[in-house]
Structure 1
Amino acid sequence: MTAEGTGRRHRGIPVAVRPFGALAALALIYALALVLGWGGGLSGAWLSAWSAAVAATSLLYAAGRTPQTPVGKIDRDMWRWFGVAAIAWCAGSTVNAISRLVISRAVVTVSPADLFLLVAPIAITAGFIVPVRLPRTTRPWLRYLADTYVCACALFVVGWVAIFDRLYHVAGEGWGQFLIELRYPVLDAALICVLFPMTLAAVRANHRSAVVAYCAVLVLTTADVLYAALRLNDGGAHGVPADVTRMVGLLFLATVPWIRGRQSAEEGGRQPAEETRRPLVGPGLAPAATAAAAAIFVAGHTLTAARGLRPIVPIIAGSAVLVVLARLAELLRENDRLGRAAETGEEHFRALAESINDVVLICGLDGVVQYVSAGARRSYHYAAEDLLGRPVYDIVHPEDLPRVVDAVTSFLRSECDLDVARIACRVRATDGTWLPTESTISRYGRAGDGTDQLLVTTRDFSEQVALERQVAHLTFHDGLTGLPNRAYLEERAREKVEHSQGPVAVVFVDLDGFTAVNDSIGHGGGDQVLAQAARRLRAGVLADDTVARWGGDEFAVLMESATEVETVVDLGERLLRALAGEPYRVADRGIVLTASVGIAFAEEGIAGSELIRNADIALSRAKELGGGRVEVFAAKMHADVMRRLELGSDLQRALTEQQFAVEFQPVVELATSRVTGVEALVRWWRDGVSIPPEEFIGTAEESGLMVPLGNWVLREATCQVAHWREAGWDIGLSINLRPREIAAAHFVDSVAEALADSGLPPGALTLEVEEEVLVDGAEELIARLSALRDLGVGLAIDDFGTGYASLAFLRQLPVDVIKIDPSFVSGLGRDETLTLLTRTIARVGRDLGLTVVAEGVERPEQLELLREMGCPRAQGFLVSRPMAPSGIEAVVQLNARGEASIPLHGSVISAS
């Protein structure tokens, strides 16, 4: 709190200070009256009272206006105690003046005012204690009291010899009466010695107003000494110099809160709370010993003086000497203990330095080694005598030496003793190798000759640096093939596309059918194949080209000097031949694989990531076309990919908005031309336009939407057919399954749930599976189909005749229906071979007790030939196109009346 912050200002004087100025002016008027002799002997008492009132008002007002900061709180409490002391002085002076009026105007040795005046030193001491952190153990208190006692004794002896010894003879009083007269000077002398260490602690904690308060105590002590001396000298009731001096001291105390500068107040407000108090430190042995020596000298003077021996002087001086001797003995014991602790710490330090792997050095400020631990031999193979007496800079790498010297110089110039410098540099071992290290430098102390020392701890970071290099290598390289990985290729492609002046191309390579390799010989054998493929690729490119493993069985080649398109295409074909030329050897087996290659060229404005993406798209195109070929990226490929992505997004939205519909294609019994079942087919109506299934089924499988879409079709179809069956139409339902649907988790449970929710009997549902799923499918798929069969659901083989080893699966898997592929039916009556194969399939199905359904019947002669062959059922455009449920209901009505759904001549059932 500063004078600038206490209130409004008027002509540079704070408004809040004006009352204090008025009181101070009044006190000065009293002082003038005292000097001129106005008011009689009571002017001094009233002058002290008014001065104390000024001090109390100033201190208490400032305490109330102090901001709530850590330092401000302590200042507020300190000033309040000072204010209490000023109130006690004011009350004491007032009572003293009144008692003189009531009792007598003569000098009163002891009066009721003493009760108040003795409270003031206690309050002053309490104020000085506020900013001090007091000791919590007994030993610091004993040291503090001993040092304070010796200093107080010295002050008393000096004061006695200089002033009070003569007054003792003049007063002619006894010892008891004389000591009562000296009660305030003696108390003040003790107070000065007690408060001095507290003042130092308060100043260290940024409470500078304590210095002003201490100076006020010194002035008040001077006033008490003058007052006692004047009274003892001439027996007067008061002395003008003492009263004026007391007024000055009290007014000085009033200025305590107002002399702080703005900067110190702001700094104190920012100071942390834990730094607002400082520990109490006694005067110390040196001042105490000096004071004791002075007391002894003065005591000796009194012993040899002509006036004779004064018992009090040698008693006090002797007690001070005894206390100093006790304090010295305690200090010697403490030094001995600290010495032993230092020796123990030195032994512990050396034991620790010898036990750790780090190298511990003690050097002078010039870098000369004075101590070296055993870690120097373990880490760098140096013996102690190899380094002792040599500058440590001799083993620092020349390139790192200037930086090390600058760091050490900056560290030595630092004023903070707790600073620690960390320096990374290379150090030479005895074999001449340079090892990376990290050193920590700190101040250690002084050597025996008084020179400063540095403690250097050096750690060998060779293994860590090697590990970091290994991690960096693994971060950008593939662990199996040793080639750069995807991250490296992407960064390299970005740099080359952005900064290269020549043409850049990326070649993507993929092994065809590699998944079958892992399935047949295991992933360990697959890793051997990939390692061999990587070596072939590395051998087939130029040294400047980057070969990287992109992931899985995909590799990429970054050509940084692709001068011509033909050169890059030739490289792609050469890599194709290298990968597919010789069999890959795994143990005693030879594995033959083909490869697909996609190529993309950097164009103006294209980024490295786009270049890699284009090459990947070209590779996907090559694999879609059957593999074993080279494809160069064209803009149309990207457009196709984007179209498929957009189609996938539209499919997701269509599934949410229910843009799909289920149509049904009837299956008829050829002998009676009656509809015995329907096959559910999904249709997508996007913005009122029907999207053919062949355009979105593949995208649905790639995007993972086939499973939810299939579940939706299953529920819709089962509910619709169950409704028809409740109406009295005995009709079955067929639904075609995709491989992803069968492989989905809880697929069997979803089928059972759909049957339970719709009420459709399991025997009325037939699930169709393509022949390739049975031939190439894993055991898990076959197990799920068997679980469906256990539910009572019928199974049908779709597109029968296009696969291989189909008859074996007819024996292993109990199917109910086989559906002849439309490619066989289309050749009936035109191709004798296809006619014979169709007849054979119909006969085999009949002999095995299976229901045979011919698909794709479009011509009447096909229908007649199927009837002749004994094929029981058929479906196709000749029978009926797929229809909405309303169209099927017309067929339901015909069946309900017992009429044939299809005339014997085979006319088509219309959707209407």
Structure 2
Amino acid sequence: MTSHPAGRDDADAAPSPEATAPDVPASDVPAPDTEPPGTAEADAVASDAAEPGHEATAAETVTQTAAQTAAGTRDTGAIRVDGRRNPRGSLTAAAGLGAVGLAAALIGGGSPSIIAAVAGVAAGLLAAFSLFLAAFRAQPGQRPRPAAWRWLAVGTLTWLVGIGLRPVADGTPFVLTFADLLLLVGSVLMAIGCGVAVTPSAYSRSAFRQAADAYLGAASIFTVGWVLLLGPAFQKAEEPGAFFSTLALPIVCLFAACAVAPAVAAARSGGRVVGLAGVIVLGAITVAEVSTALARLSGDDPPLATVLIAPAAFLVLAVAPWLDQRRLRRPLPIALTAATPLVLVGVATVAVAVQAISGNRDAALSAIAASVVLVLLGRLFVLLVETAGMRRLVDVGERQLRQLAENTGDLVLVCDHDGVIREIGAAVQETYGYCPDDLEGRPMFDYIHPEDVPGIQALLRRMTSEDDGPDGPGTCRIACRVRAADGTWRPTESVATRDVRNEDQILVSVRDMSDQVALRNQVTHLTFHDGVTGLPNRAYFEERAREVLARRGSGRTAVIFLDLDGFTGVNDSVGHASGDYLLGQAARRLRSAVRADDTLARWGGDEFAVLLEGGVSTGSDAQTAIDLAERLVRAVSSEPFRVADRDMALTASVGVAFAEDGLSAGDLLRNADVAMSRAKELGGRRVEVFAAHMHADVVRRLEIAADLQRALLDNQFAVEYQPVVDLATSRVTAVEALVRWWRGNTFVPPEQFLGPAEDTGLIVPLSEWILREACNEVAAWRASSLDIGLSLNLSLRQITAPRFVETVSQALAESGLPASALTLEVIEEMLVEDAEDTINKLSQLRALGVRLAIDDFGTGYASLAFLRQLPVDMIKIDPSFVSGLGRDETLTLLTRTIVRLGHDLGLIVVAEGIERPEQLELLREMGCTRGQGYLVGRPMAARGVDSLMRTPLQNTA
């Protein structure tokens, strides 16, 4: 089963039926020099079945095998020559030579012996050439083995030399000559080649049984021949010894043929064609020699047909190596092979009885009959011993098989070729809930999923109709779904094997794969889902976005990114376990807010993502995505989250991006992330839709961040000072140090680089440099009898730095600036983020004598509780309040309240952003202690501060 990262609904389905055909060793398949037609199609089918994550169904497997067969890639055992199966050119030329020689002998009117010699030599040469060529071209491990071709070729050469020498051999026709000896040796060698060519069956592997059957068959045939032909001829023979010497060759050939024939009949495919051709040759020699001997006894020449029997048989042997060795598909039944010698004995017995009844008694027949009886008795004894041993083996094997079937976790069953269950193990009750007796006699296809049945039936038909492989009965693997008694479909994997005890039956081992499939589905789910929230994870979301963009039609796809504002504080205050619990609550709220067709995923950390699949087009329909984004914000902030017995109020920053033509999934996700970051920069709890300039801003910020490090090393920064005056006396009491950056000749505004510096952490070394520069400058002014203080803004990164307190103390010590002359300003939000650590470090600085101020007071989260915990010396009114003085009654009232609060707490109150004279007058009227702004003094370099400190405010204004 192939897992899909998009989590398809059919992920839990069982695997489709699949099977593996009997393996054929690679060495058995010669590689052709040229690609046969159809190979490309077969390779295409095979490659599809072999792809990662792909499981072939049963139908696909059958299709693949058929394609391979059509392409000629399956091993048939036929010899290949230069990529072609039949060497037609060479064989045609050799056959032509043989035909010319035979025709010359016939036309020349030669004697039968000359005709036999010429035809035998021509046919023998053709057969020997074909056999030697087959041995040379045969591949290692191929059936039949190359040794068989060599034995047959050598035997054929020996025989043709003998047949060629016969006409010129010395001696009478009935004397055993050197040529006859060569013929005998050649026949024996050919018999050995036939035996080597075939793979013997279990029946023919007993040497005694094979020898006994060979003798019984040969003796029976000889007896019948003696009664019908040889006996009367023997009575007419003048020299009995010469007569029997003439029969030596046919007797040897007859015995050799009877010895090899049972092995050929019962052998598996792979050499039976050649073995059968060898038996035909031996039989033809026997018939030809007997016919020749009988003709000579009568003083006649042997018939021409008799003379040509052996050459014709050798022509069959010459063609045999180039035939499909799998044509004889099935071996003969063992019962028929074993019964053949007994049938021959019965026929011989009838012939002997008929002769005895007619009054003709023959001592030779009596001797043969006695030997046959003795061999039969020995054969019977051996058969009884083997049968008893086999019965014991069968009993032991059945017991072991039964125990194995009962104790193994797999289900073992036996069925016939139609799928009807004949035997089934007891495991079926424990695994599937069926009683074994209820299933026996029923088709197993009734319990297999209907979609899997056709493929399995095709596999079984193919397995039962094809020949066995060289290593044993055919085997195939099947994956299908099986119905249990409770109605559920169980995924299974099975191995079906042809039963060696009964070839009409199939042995099937079935393994329940439910646990493995469930585990695989669980692993797939965990791979593409988040373990904390149960939502799809980032990998799933990215893949899903690519799929949607690839197939989207009308309408625009939208992506929404959401970040939980303030979630870091939850982890820091109540721990990560509680933070994970809060994420689970947030996921449930977000899931209830999205539509059914939308994809909600946890992107990572405290970020979530939503994919809107189409249906969002330009104009008013785009409002659908924005409305959903706003619903997500409300879902998060509508009520606090209950975590660790506390109520945690969170908000969300949301970014929305729409897909455009040519926009990749990665770019779409990036745009949504940029829009979300923009919403977070603007204070959170808002929705921002991506615009092109946002990405440009991000790129610019990245470029600035990359240049900051080099700017620190190249001293591209400078410090300017903005005066702080006493509004009552118009005297400059302090200066606020401000950083300036000149990148070459270009001035970079602080709002463009302070944010990236904070994000990258470079704000810490930059702030340390400003601290040292400003402390040294102010210390020099104080050394010249100018009573002036220094104010510095702190960043959250700077305060949380490990050696923050030591850095400030060291800067004061190195510059000689008194600690009381240094005022450090913090914004109100810093007192909320990690409040305990922040207040602790600021308290340490306060203990050193450093003064503390709250900057932008009135706009953040500070409360009187923080003012009580942190002993500050000063509050600075935010410029947004000062800008409304004299124009906005509410802002004027709020400013007056802050000034009064500062006086009541004994704090110095500084008004920031004084730009108009009426603002200055109102602040003096309210009793504001100090002020700063462009009206009283712009930021300036150090050289301009000295003259300003000696100029009264009214003159400056």
Q: TM-score, with normalisation over the residues of structure 1?
A: 0.61
**SS at 1:109 equivalent:** coil
* Structure with bigger gyration radius: 1
| 1:344 corresponding residue in structure 2 | 399
Does the 8 Å contact 2:654/2:679 carry over to 1? yes
| 1:196 corresponding residue in structure 2 | 261
**Is 1:22 paired with 2:88?**
no
CA change 1:903–1:208 in 2 (3 A) is same
Does the 8 Å contact 2:175/2:246 carry over to 1? yes
Q: What are the residue-to-residue correspondences of 1:672-711 with 2, within 5 Å?
A: 681-684=740-743, 689-698=746-755, 700=756, 706-707=759-760
Q: How many pairs align? A: 804
* More moved, 139-148 vs 355-364: 355-364
Does the 8 Å contact 1:201/1:281 carry over to 2? yes
| 2:728 corresponding residue in structure 1 | none
| 2:698 corresponding residue in structure 1 | 648
1:289 and 1:96 mapped to 2: Cα distance?
Answer: 37
Matching residue's letter, 2:311:
L
Matching residue's letter, 2:717:
E
| 1:870 corresponding residue in structure 2 | none
**Is 1:249 paired with 2:310?**
yes
Q: 1:544-586: per-residue Cα shift (whole Å, max 9, x none)?
A: 8899976548798999999999999999999988876776656
* More moved, 644-653 vs 459-468: 459-468
Does the 8 Å contact 2:214/2:258 carry over to 1? yes
| 1:271 corresponding residue in structure 2 | none
2:388 and 2:245 mapped to 1: Cα distance?
Answer: 40
Q: What are the residue-to-residue correspondences of 1:19-168 with 2, within 5 Å?
A: 20-31=95-106, 33=108, 45=117, 48-49=120-121, 51-57=123-129, 59-60=131-132, 66=137, 74=144, 78-98=148-168, 100=169, 104=170, 106-107=172-173, 109-133=175-199, 140-168=206-234
**Is 1:221 paired with 2:221?**
no
1:356 and 1:331 mapped to 2: Cα distance?
Answer: 35
Q: 1:314-365: per-residue Cα shift (whole Å, max 9, x none)?
A: 233223322431343145324522552465257436744xx86979899997
CA change 1:547–1:838 in 2 (3 A) is same
Does the 8 Å contact 1:767/1:795 carry over to 2? yes
Does the 8 Å contact 1:368/1:389 carry over to 2? yes
Q: CA deviation at 1:487?
A: 6.2
1:782 and 1:278 mapped to 2: Cα distance?
Answer: 93
CA change 1:877–1:474 in 2 (3 A) is same
Matching residue's letter, 2:340:
P
* More moved, 120-129 vs 295-304: 295-304
Does the 8 Å contact 1:150/1:288 carry over to 2? yes
Q: What are the residue-to-residue correspondences of 1:519-534 with 2, within 5 Å?
A: 519-523=572-576
Does the 8 Å contact 2:601/2:608 carry over to 1? yes
Unaligned residue ranges in structure 2 (runs of 5+): 1-31, 33-77, 466-474, 725-731, 778-782, 784-789, 807-813, 887-894, 921-931
Q: CA deviation at 1:253?
A: 1.5
CA change 1:568–1:856 in 2 (3 A) is closer
1:538 and 1:159 mapped to 2: Cα distance?
Answer: 97
Identity %: 22
2:611 and 2:98 mapped to 1: Cα distance?
Answer: 97
| 2:346 corresponding residue in structure 1 | 293
Matching residue's letter, 2:250:
P
Does the 8 Å contact 2:771/2:792 carry over to 1? no
* More moved, 276-285 vs 112-121: 276-285
2:272 and 2:310 mapped to 1: Cα distance?
Answer: 20
2:293 and 2:166 mapped to 1: Cα distance?
Answer: 15
Does the 8 Å contact 2:718/2:739 carry over to 1? yes
1:666 and 1:203 mapped to 2: Cα distance?
Answer: 101
Q: CA deviation at 1:781?
A: 7.7
1:717 and 1:795 mapped to 2: Cα distance?
Answer: 18
Unaligned residue ranges in structure 1 (runs of 5+): 269-274, 725-729, 753-760, 846-852, 863-873, 908-912
**Is 1:638 paired with 2:690?**
yes
Matching residue's letter, 2:128:
A
2:415 and 2:203 mapped to 1: Cα distance?
Answer: 36
Q: CA deviation at 1:664?
A: 1.7
2:799 and 2:332 mapped to 1: Cα distance?
Answer: 81
Matching residue's letter, 1:593:
A
Q: CA deviation at 1:187?
A: 0.8
| 2:248 corresponding residue in structure 1 | 183
| 2:373 corresponding residue in structure 1 | 318
Q: 1:791-828: per-residue Cα shift (whole Å, max 9, x none)?
A: xxx99999699999999999999x9x99999979x99x
Q: CA deviation at 1:190?
A: 1.3
2:415 and 2:126 mapped to 1: Cα distance?
Answer: 63
CA change 1:736–1:383 in 2 (3 A) is same
Q: CA deviation at 1:192?
A: 0.9
Does the 8 Å contact 1:857/1:879 carry over to 2? no
Q: 1:292-332: per-residue Cα shift (whole Å, max 9, x none)?
A: 33344445556664334335322332233224313431453
Which of 205, 217, 227 does residue 270 from structure 2 map onto? 205
Which of 294, 307, 310 does residue 361 from structure 2 map onto? 307
Q: 1:450-503: per-residue Cα shift (whole Å, max 9, x none)?
A: 999998979696998899799979988997699999969989x989x98999x9
Matching residue's letter, 2:373:
G
1:881 and 1:812 mapped to 2: Cα distance?
Answer: 33
Does the 8 Å contact 2:721/2:939 carry over to 1? no
* More moved, 454-463 vs 312-321: 454-463
Does the 8 Å contact 1:220/1:246 carry over to 2? no
Q: CA deviation at 1:124?
A: 1.5
CA change 1:142–1:624 in 2 (3 A) is same
Q: What are the residue-to-residue correspondences of 1:515-664 with 2, within 5 Å?
A: 515-523=568-576, 551=602, 552=606, 589=646, 591=647, 593=649, 595=651, 624-626=681-683, 637-639=689-691, 642-653=692-703, 660=711, 662-664=716-718
Q: CA deviation at 1:189?
A: 0.7
CA change 1:109–1:351 in 2 (3 A) is same
CA change 1:482–1:570 in 2 (3 A) is closer
**SS at 1:133 equivalent:** coil
| 1:868 corresponding residue in structure 2 | none
Does the 8 Å contact 1:52/1:250 carry over to 2? yes
Q: CA deviation at 1:140?
A: 3.4
CA change 1:281–1:564 in 2 (3 A) is closer
Q: CA deviation at 1:290?
A: 1.8
1:51 and 1:362 mapped to 2: Cα distance?
Answer: 51
**SS at 1:306 equivalent:** coil
- Aligned Cα RMSD in Å? 7.8
Q: What are the residue-to-residue correspondences of 1:389-538 with 2, within 5 Å?
A: 416=464, 424=481, 429=486, 434-437=487-490, 513-523=566-576
Q: CA deviation at 1:157?
A: 2.6
Does the 8 Å contact 1:484/1:549 carry over to 2? no
**SS at 2:375 equivalent:** helix
CA change 1:409–1:549 in 2 (3 A) is closer
CA change 1:340–1:322 in 2 (3 A) is same
2:201 and 2:767 mapped to 1: Cα distance?
Answer: 87
**SS at 1:348 equivalent:** helix
Does the 8 Å contact 1:360/1:373 carry over to 2? no
* More moved, 453-462 vs 127-136: 453-462
Does the 8 Å contact 2:200/2:267 carry over to 1? no
| 1:910 corresponding residue in structure 2 | none
| 1:272 corresponding residue in structure 2 | none
**SS at 1:664 equivalent:** strand
* More moved, 475-484 vs 151-160: 475-484
Matching residue's letter, 1:191:
A
